[in-house]
Structure 1
Amino acid sequence: MYLLGIGIVLLLMKYLEIGPVAIWPWWVVLSPFALAAAWWTWADMTGYTKRKAVERENERRQARIDRSRADLGMGPKKRK
């Protein structure tokens, strides 16, 4: 996501001819978009995206369980 933001900022600077970016070649200005596409492709192909989503779901599930136990006065379950 950072690469996409950087790409948008560079694109605006190039289009509005602001600072040293105005004289940079277009391929340099557009390269963050290509890098972002490469990152997303790699993340999807290797399962990184799915793994992070599962980790977030497990953390939310465990927080919900701990909150329910605390509301019942049982306290959080101790992990071994």
Structure 2
Amino acid sequence: MPLIIAIVLLAILRFFEISIFAGLSWWWIAGLFVVAFLWFEYFERMLGRDKRKAHEQLEKAREDRVKKTFK
């Protein structure tokens, strides 16, 4: 998520031509969007990060139910 925020911030700075970002090519920003897309669509799945996050959320919900039951 920090990657997406950085890309959007960079695009805003380029759009309003602020400071050193005025001379930055739009291709750099488009390239970063492509990198972010590839990361979230392919590499994160290949590394199993999406399943790990879902598993951690389910495990936390189960622990909360157990604590609530035996409280």
Distance 1:33 1:58 in 2: 33
Residue 57 of structure 2 aligns with which residue?
Answer: 56
Which has more radius of gyration? 1
RMSD: 1.5
Map of 1:25-40 to 2, 5 A cutoff?
Answer: 25-40=25-40
Number of residue equivalences? 70
Q: Cα deviations across residues 14-44 of structure 1 (Å, max 9, x unaligned)?
A: 1111121111122222333122112211112
Distance 1:14 1:20 in 2: 9
Shift, 1:49, TM fit: 0.1
Percent identity for Structure 1 against Structure 2: 29
Q: Unmatched 5+ residue regions in structure 2?
A: none
Q: Unmatched 5+ residue regions in structure 1?
A: 71-80
Q: Which moved more, 1:25-34 or 1:61-70?
A: 25-34
Residue 22 of structure 1 aligns with which residue?
Answer: 22
